[in-house]
Amino acid sequence: MKKRFKLEFSMYPDSPSTNWNKNQLSGTAIKWHEEECQYLFTNHKYQIEEDDFNLLGLPIPDSSDNIDLQNKKIYRFPKLTLPRQKVDLLKEKYNCKVIRDHTKADISIVSLRLFDTLFERTWSRSITYSDTYKIVKHMKEFNWFTDEALDVLRDFFSNATPSCMVEFRINQGYYGNNKNNNIREQMHDDLVKWMKENDLKEYNSGYDWTLPKKNYVAYNNLLSSTSKIVLDSSISAIIDSELAVIGDDKYDDIEKMITSTDIDNRSLAVEMLSNCNIEKSFNVVSGLYFWHYEWFKSTNNWNSVNVKSMRTRLKAYEGNHNHTGIWSFNSYLNALMKDRKLTRFAVDRTREKLMNTLMDPIVGKGSQVFKVDLENLYIADEIEKMIDE
């Protein structure tokens, strides 16, 4: 982990006169501070994934096939998607013991959701101390700074450590139509061009992952653990290995049962879903639970042990979700993204539902003026990248 600093230059052409001395940046135009976090790494992802563990200084968790649970002491880190009922099954089958002291555990169970809460993703990327120095040196050679500005920069470089990362920002905007005649705007454009030519990455070409100060202790507990670190999804796979997997092609048939006027049919469908391998049947189980939650509740077995376990796992998908607004459609896909469960099936099924319900009377077949077909209804590019094919 490394320290992270922020260095900003206010280069707006019409910024307050105190920021400029003729066409030199003054001391008040330059701001810097050390951020209360540690830099971890940079990428273009929106979530922490399992293959990022090496970058975090953690061993990549073993798959379910390589985990020995027999007679082991287990510690549960927070934010697991593993219902306690399933942990109870582990204790019975493998003679495991759940303990409260992570330093004494043989196995520590973590979730990717835990890292969502430990780490923060910035909206810009940082560059190295040496690259920052190169850029500032180039600016100085072209006489960009007053003596007061140079004093501010010397203070920055004396406080920043050579191993640190720097969010280097040039705040600049365009005003008026005489861009080519504005020396200050041209200064900015020339600098950006020089940075690209010298492969000095721009701050908006990726995201930094950082560890906020408030989470130092929690993360150090993970790093210092001598136990084997495993993901909750692997533990679920062990528990559910002998359970049936419900294929996507069964969605329509089970939906008919869930929405049946016969409570026995509904109860049978809910029992089937609660006893399946939920993680491997997530397309079907999550979709039906999200869109037909009230039907699920109106059953004979809503409070049974297995159904309660399913309800715990699907907590993020409960509630009444109607088709009269876009919120429900967005909410379902957002929940899947947070669970790392977004699939092509789920996206296409949601697109079809959106087209056939909310959008059809507005721009669908029944529309008199505007028309949109399913082929031209697609999700945002950044969400498309998160689909687990």
Give the whole-angstrom CA distance, residue 346 versus residue 323: 16
Taking the domains of the chain in order of start, what are their residue ranges?
Answer: 2-45+122-214, 58-114+228-239, 248-384
**17 burial type by CB count under 10 A (0-12 exposed, 13-18 middle, 19+ buried):** exposed
Per-residue tokens: 111: 């979730």
Contact 200, 42 (CB under 8 A): no
Per-residue tokens: 193: 């061009």
pLDDT tens track, the chain, 389 positions: 899 999 999 887 666 667 888 888 899 999 999 999 999 998 888 888 888 888 887 877 777 778 899 999 999 998 888 877 788 888 888 999 999 998 899 999 998 889 989 999 998 889 999 999 999 999 999 999 999 999 999 999 999 999 999 999 888 765 544 444 477 778 888 888 898 888 886 656 778 999 999 999 999 888 888 888 899 888 888 888 888 999 999 999 999 999 999 999 999 999 999 999 999 999 999 999 999 999 999 999 999 988 988 998 899 999 999 988 999 999 999 999 988 999 999 999 999 999 999 888 888 777 778 888 888 888 998 889 888 87
Confidence at residue 181, expressed as pLDDT on a 0 to 100 scale: 42
Confidence at residue 353, expressed as pLDDT on a 0 to 100 scale: 94
Give the whole-angstrom CA distance, residue 290 versus residue 329: 10
Pick the closest to residue 247 from 214, 287, 200 (CA basis).
287
Give the whole-angstrom CA distance, residue 166 versus residue 2: 10
Q: Where are the alpha helices (DSSP H) in 97-172?
A: 112-118, 129-141, 147-159
Give the whole-angstrom CA distance, residue 93 versus residue 369: 63
Q: How far separated are the first and last CA of the chain, in Å rounded?
A: 32
The residue behind tokens 């200064």 is 187
Confidence at residue 7, expressed as pLDDT on a 0 to 100 scale: 96
> DSSP string spanning 170-236?
EE----SS-GGG-HHHHHHHHHHHHHHHTT---TTSSEEEEEEGGGHHHHHHHHT--SEEEEHHHHH
Give the whole-angstrom CA distance, residue 312 versus residue 216: 29
**48 burial type by CB count under 10 A (0-12 exposed, 13-18 middle, 19+ buried):** buried
Give the whole-angstrom CA distance, residue 37 versus residue 297: 44
Neighbours of 347 (CB within 10 A): 19
pLDDT (tens digit per residue) in 287-339? 999 999 999 999 999 999 889 889 988 999 999 999 889 999 999 999 999 88
**106 burial type by CB count under 10 A (0-12 exposed, 13-18 middle, 19+ buried):** middle
For 356, half-sphere exposure in the C-beta direction (CA atoms, 13 angstrom radius) is: 6
Confidence at residue 178, expressed as pLDDT on a 0 to 100 scale: 47
Q: Distances in Å between the alpha carbon of 17 and those of 10, 25, 27, 325, 369?
A: 11, 10, 12, 49, 54
